[in-house]
Structure 1
């Protein structure tokens, strides 16, 4: 037994030969950089909320700061004010609210890549290398420390660091100085892919990493077609009692015309032979009596010609000599009863979108289904799928003699049958029988089987 030990090293996808993040890889996934206007609007909203939280302290301390700047501030007079308690309470409340606001912003940015302003503008922050959530200390704490440090130079500092620095990005990804220091990148989730949607992100990475499977034409089947001009098709239930794959060949219109022509004998199979009952052969109707012609009486040992039923005679009687003009052609017995594939509705499939599909013949499901060479006419059912989990031609539903079968057409994400709560994956190219109440999963879509 060979043991494989995971050394814990994770492979980061989307890096170039120098280990730097490749913008083309992110673009192929569907990630779009956030616009500069949206980023500036998000920052303004966050600063506006911060000012609103600190408003009580600003209202109380603004006169004190103005007196201190003009040189008229008196410490004794300040502490002798009658509303000193309310001043202290207002400043304390503002400080507590501001601290809670900053902590919430840091936690949300570090774990979810979103803050109050970014959530309103449809922006998410990701690690520029892994395209996952940013690291807490570098992606959130360092970023906010640098943002607050820019306030040392009022107005000019925040405008230059936050608003104008993304314009100098050589990669044209809208990364400013704060992003370079924090290793983050802002993406627009309204126009592009949301990197925190794990399912869609996994499908996008898989689509970029693995090329879509090219559907090839199936090999010709050795099964005997039902009709003479029907395309070859493997029907697992079409085995005769003798073990031969195939079915009886139905009569063509030319053969039916020949069978109806007078004077031609067509060999048919009596229905009694198919059911196992004692054979009963058809009896030709008696001819009209001919005019009396005087003839010598036959010998007593030779009986007159008579029609004897096969069950009453041990051997088949010799056919009576009747002229073609006098004797009508015997009526052909009914052929063996069998169900023709495609006659009527065999089943009804209900998609998860609510659409109902009637299965009368071979039915193909996929994003852009197409019949393969030699498959003949088929009902094409396009299934829209934004996640691209459904292949172009994903599954085929084919009615057979004993029921309805489903075949996976070598799809990328596979198919399965859900029956009684248990899911059974389908092997590509191998048909599986469907029952009423089954659910067929193909990619991320499903359809339920109902009886016609």
Structure 2
């Protein structure tokens, strides 16, 4: 427990910048020199014309001030200047205070470098800190005391907002969103041609027994439009009243029951069929290694983006040409509203493949992009022998010969003409 507490400062806090270390040094010198000045003025006012006595008092105060700063550095790692800018001097190996002995040697080197030599001493120490081979900005005085100066200011915590909405795949080369799948435009029926309204059906004034005599009368020849030609059948039939024939123009008489006639065969009006919804087949539990391809109800083939064809081959030998968005994982499932064309369930021996691990799809410009969907073990892209981890939610463009690893499973990418 003690060793863990000792290592915490060295491993938790970053190395201090040289600029902030200079600010701390300047504040310490201003504080001590201000005290020396006040003490010298007080001694001069009290003793009068005694220069050697006043010089001895000020010199003794300087030695005491140097000892106080050295002890503070060795015991707590802080001085007034370091506390003001958020720095601390700790041991290079353990992260604990360096102790009084090493702090005295370190402070002695700093005091010697502060002598009035036109800044050559301080510049030399700063140069040794810049040229530190360990890249921890340790000067010659730090190496002498086995110390390192760290920045103990609290780090700012920035809250990140998580967006659960469906994400669009972005091609990093073209920086364009993949458009939504094409939907057939609605078909509107043409309005029926204007027709003369049929006369209102009125009850016959003749008694009911006279109805059988109606079949002996031929239909009026002035109404040829009652029997339209089959080739000119309108989309909607003309409204007619069954059992009654329209009266001729210019004459008003009670309607006479007409001979029942068989209306011509009419084609049913074309009805607009809604756009077929994509049907996604769920992967079977008995066969976790097969590819599930979505099919349309009307049997139409989805439009493939113009450009080269991309073929992917998994480590189990399964291969296919990418024609739309593909989800891979242990049991991949699309988000609501995602236009998914392929589902590739991958069996994992060590459970390193997430449920919905990653996705890849062709872009409108012909490129193939892949994106990790926040998997537990991540996805790795290998290009020409160099591997790099894919950032979750950030798409990457694939080229011919790339290999993408999803956990313990892998996929090769090939470009076909």
Same fold by TM-score, threshold 0.5 exceeded?
Answer: no
TM-score by length of 2: 0.32
TM-score by length of 1: 0.30
Q: Radius of gyration: which is bigger?
A: 2
